[in-house]
Amino acid sequence: MVSGKGRGERILVTGGAGFIGSHTVVELLRQGYKVWVMDNLQNSCVEALHRVCHLVGPRLSPNLQFHHGDLCNPADLDRLFNASSSFDAVIHFAGLKGVGDSVVNPLHYYHNNIVGTVNLFQAMAKFNCKKMVFSSSATVYGQPEEVPCAEESKLHAMNPYGRSKLFAEEMGRDIEKAGGEGEWRMIFLRYFNPVGAHESGKLGEDPRGIPNNLMPYIQQVAVGRLPHLNVYGHDYPTNDGTAVRDYIHVMDLAHGHVAALRKLFANDTIGCTAYNLGTGRGTSVLEMVAAFEKASGKKIPIKMCPRRPGDATAVYASTEKAEKELGWKAKYGIEEMCRDQWNWVSNNPWGYQGNH
């Protein structure tokens, strides 16, 4: 069990204006860390960070600094590492995350996610900051041969996005191996399906364009921005024929990052290791729709459609390793995920920017 508050350690959070990043920054500030966010705002807006400051209040908000910068531009990283006299650790969220988009624009994904990560590793080496928590994904398990997915399961990427995550993990493993004993410490957090929102209703997911993922799509149907939900596949070998995933509340993820950071600071022999962040429970698409209807009091019209190419039948996490070694366990179930997601979207039907 790794516990205790941060002691003012200085954390660089790449992609900290985004969905998972902004929720995590709230928790980092509350736990006493000093946070520098670097984001190029290609999929986010600075209003999310204004709201973070509002949520943590005037005592803690001076501990957050925002730097508009692009990981693909090494000069931006140099400037930030120089200006801040380096960092104690990095949480690396920045990346593009659309599976379908990555199939259509593979070079764009490799450039942003791989070149960006190489540049970050180079800056970290140069400024002697060698602790990283990295946003990996359950996508590295591909179509899992068995569930629950355990960290030592076979890894297999199925699209350029997934490959960019797998390459980044492999790069990390190579860099750690090449360094001296205890020189680099890295934790790869493999998220399952992040959903929900901050319980205040002030922070949440605000995707650009038509959402690809289930919950952002449902939330837009609920507020009348989209007419109905397409349910992709109703002939899967599951209880109700729809595919099963391990949905996890974004605040549970935020706490998971704090636990990982504590582990990095506390354990000088950790080397490079991966943890699943999931609940260990599978929920079908129709169960998720029903839970959201209950939480919101809104009917979500659905249309049954063929399977989406590349989708697995059922994916859920083995959570033992994170529970045992990080002392972390997800607290929230799908009721709270849907409650908080509805609270966010009913207060912000058009996201952070109002009508866009």
DSSP state of 193: E
**Nearest CB to ligand NAD, comparing residues 41 and 118:** 41
Task: Give 159's contacts (C-beta < 8 A, 6+ positions apart).
Answer: 99, 102, 103, 139, 310
165's CB contacts (< 8 A; 6+ apart) are 113, 136, 137, 139, 140, 157
Stretch that binds ligand NAD, among 88-96, 150-158, 217-225, 348-356 (CB under 6 A): 88-96
Whether 138 and 246 have beta carbons less than 8 Å apart is answered as yes
Site for ligand NAD contains 41 (CB under 6 A): yes
Is residue 194 near ligand NAD by the rule CB under 6 A? yes
Residue 119 binds ligand NAD, judged by CB under 6 A:
no
Does the protein bind ligand NAD through residue 43 (CB under 6 A)? yes
Local structure of residue 149 (DSSP, 8 states): B
CB atoms within 10 A of CB 347: 12
Report, in Å, the least distance between residue 207 CB and ligand UPG: 11
Closest CA to 91 of 47, 129, 125: 129
Q: x/- contact string, 84-113, with ligand UPG (CB under 6 A)?
A: -------------x-x--------------
The answer to whether 304 and 234 have CB atoms below 8 angstroms apart is yes
d(CA 353, CA 267): 42
Which one-letter DSSP state was computed for residue 314? B
Q: Which listed option, ligand NAD, ligand UPG, none, makes contact with residue 36 (CB within 5 to 8 Å by class)?
A: none
For residues 171 and 120, what is the distance between their CA atoms, to the nearest angstrom?
Answer: 12
Q: What track of x and - describes contact with ligand UPG for positions 241 through 260 (by CB under 6 A)?
A: --x-x---------------
Report what 60 binds from ligand UPG, ligand NAD, none; CB cut-off 5-8 Å by kind. Answer: none
Catalytic residues: 161
**Whole-number minimum distance, CB 192 to ligand NAD, in Å?**
8
Take residue 331 and report the two structure tokens written for it.
Answer: 């607290």
Kindly state whether residue 204 participates in binding ligand NAD, applying the rule CB under 6 A.
no
Given the rule CB under 6 A, which residues bind ligand NAD? Answer: 14-15, 17-21, 39-44, 70-72, 93-97, 112, 116, 135, 137, 191, 194
Given the rule CB under 6 A, which residues bind ligand UPG? Answer: 97, 99, 137-139, 191-193, 212-214, 217, 229-233, 243, 245, 285, 308, 311
